[in-house]
Structure formats: structure tokens, C-alpha cells
């Protein structure tokens, strides 16, 4: 029986990956080739013919090694983006929107400011006051993964970014799908609404994020040591 792991390791050479990733890749490919070999032997092929056909599954070892390196690095980049941006940002967003839902469930009356006679601006003051906490959470969690300052900033501001995206989608749907005339007649109101629900909480999120932009990422990523 051929040593498929040794054959694959020799064919691929140094993949420039971490030892664990390289061993995992070699083991997966070796297992595949061995499965092909066993299947060919079961069909009556001689050992040498089965080995040759199994090895022919890989037409160019150098090209395959390059593709594996690219795929593994892309996978690593995606994992890094998830840890440093998406997860912290979603935690911050969930906390912010969760608090808003709680305030509404408690029947807390929002502050109302009338714009003209027919439309009003509403917002929850406790929710706005709490935004620095959620900005700090997002930036801190992002920094713990060793992210850059720009990524920490984006993670901290994620709730405002998400709210802006929602406003833009709603506005475009109103203009191009629903043909809503209200939008064109109340552009100033829409701008004020964006200020209340995007800009103002964004400022609060930024205040909570700023302290973690000044902290070196090496310190943020260090594990907590208990005395």
C-alpha cells in the first residue's frame, strides 16, 4: 500500500501555511486519492494501474498548490473580517436595537417634536444616551481580535451604519417602487429624521468608540489576567 500522505506532501511541497493547515490539507487530499485507489482496485485494476490513475487525479501539482494557498488565505481573511468587524458590529447593533425594543415594550413615551402640522419627529432619549455604551462594546470586541483603528471605528459605528442603510433602502423603495409623493414634498423632514435616527446616535456611538481608537491593538488583543 502506498503512503498517500507522503506522496501528497512531496507533490505539494511547502504550501506556506500554518503547520495545522498544511497537515489538514495534505490529509484531505491523501484521503481522496486513497479512496480513488481503493475504488479502482475494487473494480479489478492492478495495484500499479490503480496508483497511476489515482495520481492522475492531480494533473499539475504546482498549480494545485497555488490554488490551495489562495483558497486558504482567502478563508483566513474571511474569518478575520468576521471576528474583527461583523461579529462585534452585530453585537453592538443587537444591543442597541434590543434596548429600543425594551423601551417600546415598556410603553415609554418617546419625545415628540412636531415638524409643521402634519408630521412629527420622535425619538427615545434614554436610547440616545445609551449609544456610547454600544459603540464602546463594538470597538472593544473588534480590538480584541487585533483589528486596525479603521475596523474598530466601523464596528463601533455599525448600528448607525445599519440604520443609514435601512433608511436608504426605504427611501429608494418609496421613490422608485411605491412612487410616494410624500417623499418629494417633505425632503427637509426626511433629512431631520435621518439626523435624529442616524447622525445623533452615530455621534453617541462615536463617543464610546473613541477611547478604543487610542488604545494600541496589541494591548486590546492581550488576554485578561486575573490576580
Task: Give the pLDDT confidence of 187-213 residue by residue, as tens digits.
Answer: 777 788 888 889 999 999 999 999 999
Examine the domain organization and report whether 122 and 42 are in the same domain: no
Examine the domain organization and report whether 208 and 135 are in the same domain: yes
Asked if residue 134 lies in contact with residue 162, where contact means CB atoms within 8 angstroms, the answer is no
| Lowest mean pLDDT segment, chosen from 31-35, 112-116, 139-143 | 112-116
pLDDT band at 225 (very low <50, low <70, confident <90, very high): very low
Examine the domain organization and report whether 49 and 110 are in the same domain: no
Res 214: pLDDT: 83
Indicate whether 21 pLDDT > 70: yes
Examine the domain organization and report whether 47 and 110 are in the same domain: no
Determine the average pLDDT of the residues in 147-171. 92
**Domain membership flag for residue 64:** no
Cell 423632514 appears where? 189
Asked if residue 212 lies in contact with residue 221, where contact means CB atoms within 8 angstroms, the answer is no
- DSSP class of residue 199? I
Q: Pull the grid cell for residue 125.
A: 432619549
Res 22: pLDDT: 76
Examine the domain organization and report whether 138 and 195 are in the same domain: yes
- Look up the domain containing 158 and give its range: 82-220
Q: Which residue has the higher pLDDT, 16 or 104?
A: 104
**Domain membership flag for residue 14:** yes
Percentage of the chain exceeding pLDDT 90: 32
Examine the domain organization and report whether 133 and 189 are in the same domain: yes
Examine the domain organization and report whether 40 and 125 are in the same domain: no
Contacts of 109 (CB under 8 A, 6+ apart): none
Contacts of 188 (CB under 8 A, 6+ apart): 115
**Domain membership flag for residue 132:** yes
Examine the domain organization and report whether 190 and 94 are in the same domain: yes
Q: What is the dihedral of CA 200, 202, 208, 211, to 10 degrees?
A: -120
**Domain membership flag for residue 73:** no
**Domain membership flag for residue 76:** no
Examine the domain organization and report whether 88 and 125 are in the same domain: yes
Determine the average pLDDT of the residues in 122-146. 92
Indicate whether 226 pLDDT > 50: no
Write down the pTM of the prediction.
Answer: 0.63
Examine the domain organization and report whether 48 and 149 are in the same domain: no
Indicate whether 91 pLDDT > 90: yes
Examine the domain organization and report whether 160 and 111 are in the same domain: yes
Examine the domain organization and report whether 117 and 214 are in the same domain: yes
Contacts of 13 (CB under 8 A, 6+ apart): 61, 65
Q: Which residue has the higher pLDDT, 34 or 136?
A: 136
The β-bridge partners of 123 are: 111
Res 30: pLDDT: 83
- Please give the tally of structural domains in the chain: 2
| Long-range contacts (CB closer than 8 Å, 24 or more residues apart) made by 19-26 | 21/72, 25/68, 25/72
**Domain membership flag for residue 113:** yes
Amino acid at each position: 500500500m502506498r503512503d498517500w500522505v507522503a506522496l501528497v506532501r512531496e507533490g505539494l511541497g511547502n504550501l506556506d501555511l500554518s503547520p495545522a493547515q498544511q497537515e489538514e490539507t495534505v490529509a484531505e487530499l491523501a484521503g481522496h486519492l486513497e479512496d480513488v485507489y481503493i475504488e479502482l482496485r475494487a473494480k479489478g485494476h492492478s495495484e500499479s494501474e490503480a496508483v497511476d490513475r489515482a495520481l492522475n487525479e492531480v494533473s499539475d501539482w504546482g498549480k494545485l498548490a497555488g490554488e490551495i494557498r489562495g483558497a486558504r488565505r482567502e478563508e483566513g481573511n474571511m474569518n478575520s473580517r468576521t471576528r474583527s468587524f461583523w461579529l462585534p458590529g452585530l453585537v453592538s447593533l443587537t444591543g442597541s436595537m434590543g434596548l429600543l425594543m425594551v423601551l417600546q415594550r415598556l410603553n415609554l413615551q418617546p419625545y415628540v417634536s412636531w415638524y409643521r402640522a402634519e408630521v412629527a419627529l420622535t425619538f427615545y432619549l434614554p436610547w440616545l444616551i445609551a449609544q456610547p455604551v454600544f459603540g464602546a462594546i463594538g470597538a472593544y470586541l473588534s480590538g480584541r481580535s487585533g483589528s486596525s483603528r479603521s475596523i474598530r471605528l466601523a464596528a463601533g459605528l455599525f448600528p448607525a451604519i445599519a440604520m443609514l442603510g435601512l433608511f436608504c433602502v426605504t427611501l429608494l423603495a418609496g421613490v422608485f417602487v411605491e412612487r410616494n409623493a410624500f417623499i418629494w414634498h417633505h425632503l427637509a423632514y426626511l433629512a431631520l429624521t435621518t439626523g435624529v435616527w442616524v447622525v445623533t446616535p452615530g455621534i453617541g456611538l462615536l463617543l464610546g468608540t473613541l477611547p478604543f481608537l487610542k488604545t494600541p491593538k496589541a494591548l486590546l488583543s492581550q488576554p485578561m489576567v486575573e490576580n
